[in-house]
Amino acid sequence: MMKRPPSVNPYFEALYSAWGPQRWWPADSPFEIILGAFLTQNTAWTNVERAMANLHQAGCLSADGIRRTPLEELERLVRPAGYFRQKAARLKTFIAYLDTRYKGSLPRMFAQPTQQLRTELLELNGVGPETADSILLYAGQHEVFVVDTYTRRIFERHALIEPTATYEDIRLKVESDLRESASAPQADSPATPDRQLPNHAIAKLPDSSFEPGPGPAIEAPELTIPPIHAPSKMSKAKRSPLAQRFNEFHGLIVQVGKHHCLKQAPHCDGCPLALFLPAEGPRTLPQRPQKERKGEAEGRAKIKPARR
Protein backbone atom coordinates (compact mmCIF):
# COMPACT_ATOMS: atom_id res chain seq x y z
CA MET A 1 0.00 0.00 0.00
CA MET A 2 1.49 3.28 -1.00
CA LYS A 3 2.11 6.01 1.49
CA ARG A 4 0.90 9.38 0.41
CA PRO A 5 1.64 12.76 1.86
CA PRO A 6 -0.92 13.69 4.45
CA SER A 7 -1.08 17.24 3.24
CA VAL A 8 -0.63 19.22 0.06
CA ASN A 9 2.45 20.98 1.41
CA PRO A 10 4.82 18.59 -0.40
CA TYR A 11 2.96 19.30 -3.62
CA PHE A 12 3.49 22.98 -3.17
CA GLU A 13 7.15 22.52 -2.29
CA ALA A 14 7.80 20.28 -5.29
CA LEU A 15 6.11 22.68 -7.70
CA TYR A 16 7.73 25.75 -6.27
CA SER A 17 11.15 24.10 -6.36
CA ALA A 18 10.64 23.13 -9.97
CA TRP A 19 9.02 26.21 -11.41
CA GLY A 20 9.53 29.05 -8.94
CA PRO A 21 7.18 32.01 -8.37
CA GLN A 22 4.37 32.50 -10.86
CA ARG A 23 3.80 36.25 -10.38
CA TRP A 24 0.04 36.30 -10.22
CA TRP A 25 -2.03 38.33 -11.10
CA PRO A 26 -1.03 40.29 -14.23
CA ALA A 27 -2.82 43.53 -13.45
CA ASP A 28 -2.00 47.06 -12.45
CA SER A 29 -4.77 47.59 -9.92
CA PRO A 30 -7.13 45.66 -7.64
CA PHE A 31 -10.08 46.77 -9.73
CA GLU A 32 -8.52 45.35 -12.87
CA ILE A 33 -8.37 42.00 -11.08
CA ILE A 34 -12.01 42.27 -10.09
CA LEU A 35 -12.93 42.95 -13.71
CA GLY A 36 -10.90 39.96 -14.81
CA ALA A 37 -12.49 37.73 -12.17
CA PHE A 38 -15.95 38.52 -13.52
CA LEU A 39 -15.08 38.48 -17.19
CA THR A 40 -13.20 35.20 -17.08
CA GLN A 41 -16.25 33.25 -15.99
CA ASN A 42 -16.85 30.49 -18.52
CA THR A 43 -14.51 31.79 -21.15
CA ALA A 44 -10.87 31.64 -22.15
CA TRP A 45 -8.52 34.32 -20.94
CA THR A 46 -7.75 35.41 -24.50
CA ASN A 47 -11.37 36.57 -24.78
CA VAL A 48 -11.05 38.40 -21.48
CA GLU A 49 -8.03 40.22 -22.82
CA ARG A 50 -10.02 41.51 -25.78
CA ALA A 51 -12.77 42.76 -23.49
CA MET A 52 -10.18 44.34 -21.19
CA ALA A 53 -8.60 46.07 -24.17
CA ASN A 54 -12.01 47.55 -25.05
CA LEU A 55 -12.50 48.71 -21.47
CA HIS A 56 -9.03 50.20 -21.40
CA GLN A 57 -9.62 52.06 -24.63
CA ALA A 58 -12.90 53.42 -23.28
CA GLY A 59 -11.26 54.47 -20.00
CA CYS A 60 -13.29 51.92 -18.04
CA LEU A 61 -10.63 50.01 -16.12
CA SER A 62 -11.79 51.59 -12.89
CA ALA A 63 -14.81 51.52 -10.63
CA ASP A 64 -15.71 54.99 -11.81
CA GLY A 65 -15.36 53.93 -15.42
CA ILE A 66 -17.86 51.09 -14.94
CA ARG A 67 -20.10 53.35 -12.87
CA ARG A 68 -20.49 56.04 -15.48
CA THR A 69 -20.73 53.77 -18.52
CA PRO A 70 -24.31 53.04 -19.60
CA LEU A 71 -25.24 49.39 -19.41
CA GLU A 72 -25.71 49.02 -23.16
CA GLU A 73 -22.29 50.48 -23.81
CA LEU A 74 -20.75 48.25 -21.17
CA GLU A 75 -22.33 45.23 -22.82
CA ARG A 76 -20.72 46.23 -26.10
CA LEU A 77 -17.31 46.64 -24.48
CA VAL A 78 -17.31 43.27 -22.69
CA ARG A 79 -18.91 41.38 -25.56
CA PRO A 80 -15.68 39.53 -26.53
CA ALA A 81 -15.73 37.80 -23.12
CA GLY A 82 -19.08 36.14 -23.88
CA TYR A 83 -22.27 36.17 -21.80
CA PHE A 84 -21.86 39.90 -22.19
CA ARG A 85 -25.30 40.87 -20.89
CA GLN A 86 -24.88 38.90 -17.68
CA LYS A 87 -21.32 40.04 -17.19
CA ALA A 88 -22.11 43.71 -17.77
CA ALA A 89 -25.03 43.44 -15.35
CA ARG A 90 -22.84 41.70 -12.78
CA LEU A 91 -20.25 44.44 -12.97
CA LYS A 92 -22.95 47.03 -12.43
CA THR A 93 -24.26 45.02 -9.48
CA PHE A 94 -20.81 44.91 -7.96
CA ILE A 95 -20.41 48.67 -8.33
CA ALA A 96 -23.82 49.25 -6.74
CA TYR A 97 -22.75 47.07 -3.81
CA LEU A 98 -19.44 48.88 -3.51
CA ASP A 99 -21.14 52.27 -3.55
CA THR A 100 -23.92 51.36 -1.17
CA ARG A 101 -21.88 49.52 1.38
CA TYR A 102 -18.43 51.09 1.13
CA LYS A 103 -19.04 54.46 -0.45
CA GLY A 104 -17.27 53.28 -3.58
CA SER A 105 -14.03 52.55 -1.75
CA LEU A 106 -12.20 49.31 -2.48
CA PRO A 107 -9.71 49.84 0.37
CA ARG A 108 -12.65 50.19 2.75
CA MET A 109 -14.21 47.04 1.34
CA PHE A 110 -11.03 45.03 1.59
CA ALA A 111 -10.45 46.21 5.16
CA GLN A 112 -13.36 44.03 6.27
CA PRO A 113 -12.71 40.68 7.95
CA THR A 114 -12.22 37.96 5.37
CA GLN A 115 -15.22 35.84 6.27
CA GLN A 116 -17.58 38.79 6.42
CA LEU A 117 -16.44 40.09 3.06
CA ARG A 118 -16.55 36.63 1.52
CA THR A 119 -20.14 36.19 2.65
CA GLU A 120 -21.10 39.57 1.22
CA LEU A 121 -19.47 38.85 -2.13
CA LEU A 122 -21.14 35.45 -2.36
CA GLU A 123 -24.51 37.12 -1.93
CA LEU A 124 -24.00 39.17 -5.09
CA ASN A 125 -25.56 38.03 -8.32
CA GLY A 126 -23.06 36.08 -10.38
CA VAL A 127 -20.44 35.68 -7.68
CA GLY A 128 -19.65 32.08 -6.79
CA PRO A 129 -16.86 30.86 -4.54
CA GLU A 130 -14.15 30.97 -7.16
CA THR A 131 -14.91 34.53 -8.20
CA ALA A 132 -15.23 35.67 -4.59
CA ASP A 133 -11.99 33.99 -3.57
CA SER A 134 -10.12 35.33 -6.59
CA ILE A 135 -11.20 38.84 -5.64
CA LEU A 136 -10.28 38.29 -2.01
CA LEU A 137 -6.88 36.73 -2.66
CA TYR A 138 -5.61 38.54 -5.72
CA ALA A 139 -7.26 41.96 -5.40
CA GLY A 140 -7.53 42.18 -1.62
CA GLN A 141 -4.55 40.06 -0.48
CA HIS A 142 -6.79 38.15 1.91
CA GLU A 143 -5.65 34.74 3.07
CA VAL A 144 -8.00 32.61 0.99
CA PHE A 145 -7.13 29.84 -1.43
CA VAL A 146 -8.79 29.76 -4.85
CA VAL A 147 -10.00 26.32 -5.85
CA ASP A 148 -10.38 25.75 -9.55
CA THR A 149 -11.11 22.86 -11.85
CA TYR A 150 -7.41 22.11 -12.15
CA THR A 151 -7.11 21.78 -8.38
CA ARG A 152 -9.91 19.26 -8.24
CA ARG A 153 -8.60 17.30 -11.20
CA ILE A 154 -5.07 17.03 -9.84
CA PHE A 155 -6.19 16.19 -6.32
CA GLU A 156 -8.61 13.57 -7.61
CA ARG A 157 -6.00 11.94 -9.82
CA HIS A 158 -3.71 11.77 -6.78
CA ALA A 159 -6.47 10.48 -4.53
CA LEU A 160 -6.03 13.44 -2.21
CA ILE A 161 -9.75 14.11 -2.13
CA GLU A 162 -12.90 12.13 -2.60
CA PRO A 163 -14.90 12.74 -5.77
CA THR A 164 -17.68 14.04 -3.54
CA ALA A 165 -15.47 16.76 -2.01
CA THR A 166 -17.05 20.17 -2.27
CA TYR A 167 -15.37 23.45 -3.13
CA GLU A 168 -15.30 24.29 0.55
CA ASP A 169 -13.83 20.91 1.48
CA ILE A 170 -10.94 21.47 -0.90
CA ARG A 171 -10.41 25.12 0.02
CA LEU A 172 -10.30 24.39 3.73
CA LYS A 173 -7.94 21.44 3.26
CA VAL A 174 -5.46 23.49 1.25
CA GLU A 175 -5.69 26.44 3.61
CA SER A 176 -5.18 24.21 6.62
CA ASP A 177 -2.28 22.29 5.07
CA LEU A 178 -0.42 25.36 3.84
CA ARG A 179 -1.04 27.26 7.04
CA GLU A 180 0.91 24.59 8.88
CA SER A 181 3.94 25.16 6.76
CA ALA A 182 6.69 26.90 8.67
CA SER A 183 8.08 29.21 6.04
CA ALA A 184 6.73 30.74 2.88
CA PRO A 185 8.34 32.05 -0.28
CA GLN A 186 8.54 35.77 -0.75
CA ALA A 187 6.92 37.54 -3.65
CA ASP A 188 9.06 37.41 -6.73
CA SER A 189 11.90 35.68 -5.02
CA PRO A 190 14.45 34.44 -7.55
CA ALA A 191 13.20 31.51 -9.53
CA THR A 192 15.97 29.01 -9.82
CA PRO A 193 14.16 25.87 -10.79
CA ASP A 194 16.00 22.71 -9.97
CA ARG A 195 15.79 20.27 -12.79
CA GLN A 196 16.85 17.37 -10.59
CA LEU A 197 13.45 17.77 -9.02
CA PRO A 198 12.71 14.59 -7.13
CA ASN A 199 15.74 14.54 -4.82
CA HIS A 200 15.78 18.26 -4.43
CA ALA A 201 12.08 18.45 -3.74
CA ILE A 202 12.12 15.57 -1.31
CA ALA A 203 14.99 17.14 0.59
CA LYS A 204 12.85 20.23 1.09
CA LEU A 205 9.72 18.48 2.20
CA PRO A 206 8.55 19.88 5.49
CA ASP A 207 7.01 16.60 6.55
CA SER A 208 9.92 14.31 7.35
CA SER A 209 7.60 11.32 7.64
CA PHE A 210 6.70 11.57 3.99
CA GLU A 211 8.08 9.06 1.58
CA PRO A 212 7.31 9.19 -2.10
CA GLY A 213 4.76 6.66 -3.19
CA PRO A 214 5.78 3.70 -5.31
CA GLY A 215 4.26 5.27 -8.39
CA PRO A 216 5.95 5.29 -11.77
CA ALA A 217 9.71 5.44 -11.41
CA ILE A 218 11.12 8.90 -11.90
CA GLU A 219 14.68 9.21 -13.01
CA ALA A 220 15.37 12.91 -12.92
CA PRO A 221 13.05 13.72 -15.83
CA GLU A 222 13.87 16.64 -18.02
CA LEU A 223 11.47 19.21 -16.68
CA THR A 224 10.18 21.87 -18.95
CA ILE A 225 9.45 25.15 -17.24
CA PRO A 226 6.17 26.75 -18.27
CA PRO A 227 6.44 30.40 -19.25
CA ILE A 228 5.40 33.00 -16.72
CA HIS A 229 4.39 36.59 -17.21
CA ALA A 230 6.50 39.53 -16.23
CA PRO A 231 6.00 40.92 -12.71
CA SER A 232 3.01 43.23 -12.49
CA LYS A 233 2.11 45.91 -9.99
CA MET A 234 -0.35 43.51 -8.41
CA SER A 235 1.99 40.51 -8.38
CA LYS A 236 4.37 42.66 -6.35
CA ALA A 237 1.67 43.92 -4.00
CA LYS A 238 2.30 43.62 -0.30
CA ARG A 239 0.74 40.52 1.21
CA SER A 240 1.26 38.16 4.09
CA PRO A 241 3.52 35.13 3.65
CA LEU A 242 0.45 32.90 3.83
CA ALA A 243 -1.43 34.88 1.19
CA GLN A 244 1.72 34.69 -0.92
CA ARG A 245 1.73 30.94 -0.48
CA PHE A 246 -1.91 30.63 -1.54
CA ASN A 247 -1.19 32.91 -4.47
CA GLU A 248 1.77 30.85 -5.66
CA PHE A 249 0.13 27.48 -5.15
CA HIS A 250 -2.86 28.45 -7.24
CA GLY A 251 -0.62 29.80 -10.00
CA LEU A 252 1.47 26.63 -9.94
CA ILE A 253 -1.61 24.41 -10.06
CA VAL A 254 -2.84 26.26 -13.12
CA GLN A 255 0.50 25.55 -14.81
CA VAL A 256 0.18 21.84 -14.01
CA GLY A 257 -3.39 21.82 -15.32
CA LYS A 258 -2.48 23.62 -18.50
CA HIS A 259 0.72 21.78 -19.34
CA HIS A 260 0.47 18.32 -17.77
CA CYS A 261 -2.77 17.33 -16.07
CA LEU A 262 -5.02 17.76 -19.07
CA LYS A 263 -8.66 16.83 -18.84
CA GLN A 264 -8.51 14.15 -21.51
CA ALA A 265 -5.38 12.46 -20.17
CA PRO A 266 -2.56 13.34 -17.79
CA HIS A 267 0.93 13.86 -19.20
CA CYS A 268 2.89 12.74 -16.17
CA ASP A 269 6.35 12.64 -17.76
CA GLY A 270 8.20 15.65 -16.51
CA CYS A 271 5.38 16.73 -14.20
CA PRO A 272 6.84 17.79 -10.85
CA LEU A 273 3.98 16.00 -9.11
CA ALA A 274 4.72 12.60 -10.67
CA LEU A 275 6.66 11.51 -7.58
CA PHE A 276 3.43 11.67 -5.60
CA LEU A 277 1.42 9.41 -7.90
CA PRO A 278 -0.42 6.49 -6.39
CA ALA A 279 1.14 3.08 -7.11
CA GLU A 280 -1.51 2.30 -9.67
CA GLY A 281 -0.98 5.60 -11.44
CA PRO A 282 -3.39 8.51 -11.73
CA ARG A 283 -6.91 7.78 -10.62
CA THR A 284 -9.60 7.86 -13.25
CA LEU A 285 -11.67 10.98 -13.00
CA PRO A 286 -15.30 10.42 -12.08
CA GLN A 287 -17.98 11.30 -14.57
CA ARG A 288 -20.00 14.22 -13.31
CA PRO A 289 -23.39 15.29 -14.46
CA GLN A 290 -23.34 18.71 -16.09
CA LYS A 291 -25.45 20.18 -13.32
CA GLU A 292 -22.94 19.22 -10.67
CA ARG A 293 -20.11 20.88 -12.56
CA LYS A 294 -21.98 24.13 -12.99
CA GLY A 295 -20.88 25.65 -9.72
CA GLU A 296 -17.26 24.87 -10.44
CA ALA A 297 -17.41 26.45 -13.83
CA GLU A 298 -18.44 29.80 -12.44
CA GLY A 299 -15.60 32.21 -12.44
CA ARG A 300 -13.33 29.32 -12.50
CA ALA A 301 -9.82 28.61 -13.19
CA LYS A 302 -10.35 29.93 -16.45
CA ILE A 303 -8.47 32.49 -14.61
CA LYS A 304 -5.66 31.72 -16.93
CA PRO A 305 -3.92 35.00 -17.46
CA ALA A 306 -2.37 34.62 -20.87
CA ARG A 307 -0.21 37.61 -20.18
CA ARG A 308 1.61 35.65 -17.60
Distance CA 160, CA 93 (A): 37
Nearer to ligand SF4, 228 or 268 (CB): 268
Nearer to ligand SF4, 63 or 275 (CB): 275
Q: How far is CA 214 from the centre of its chain?
A: 29
Distance CA 27, CA 34 (A): 10
Distance CA 166, CA 29 (A): 31
Helix (H, G, I), strand (E, B) or coil at 266: strand
| Least distance (Å) between residue 6 CB and ligand SF4 | 17
Type of residue at 129 = P
Under a CB-based contact definition with an 8 Å cutoff, are residues 117 and 75 in contact?
A: no
Q: What is the dihedral of CA 131, 133, 139, 143, to 10 degrees?
A: 180
| Least distance (Å) between residue 160 CB and ligand SF4 | 10
Nearer to ligand SF4, 132 or 274 (CB): 274
Q: Which DSSP category does 237 fall into?
A: S
Under a CB-based contact definition with an 8 Å cutoff, are residues 98 and 109 in contact?
A: yes
| Least distance (Å) between residue 191 CB and ligand SF4 | 20
Which of 84, 153, 93 shows the shortest CA–CA distance to 127? 93
| Least distance (Å) between residue 226 CB and ligand SF4 | 12
| Least distance (Å) between residue 54 CB and ligand SF4 | 36
Q: Which DSSP category does 143 fall into?
A: S
Nearer to ligand SF4, 80 or 198 (CB): 198
The neighbour count for residue 287, using CB atoms within 10 Å, is: 7
| Least distance (Å) between residue 249 CB and ligand SF4 | 13
Which of 176, 160, 155, 191 shows the shortest CA–CA distance to 266? 155
| Least distance (Å) between residue 270 CB and ligand SF4 | 9
Nearer to ligand SF4, 14 or 139 (CB): 14
Nearer to ligand SF4, 197 or 243 (CB): 197
Helix (H, G, I), strand (E, B) or coil at 157: helix
Nearer to ligand SF4, 70 or 281 (CB): 281
| Least distance (Å) between residue 101 CB and ligand SF4 | 40
Under a CB-based contact definition with an 8 Å cutoff, are residues 80 and 50 in contact?
A: yes
Nearer to ligand SF4, 48 or 223 (CB): 223
Give contact residues for ligand SF4 (rule: CB under 6 A).
154, 157-158, 256, 260-261, 266-268, 271, 273-274, 277, 282
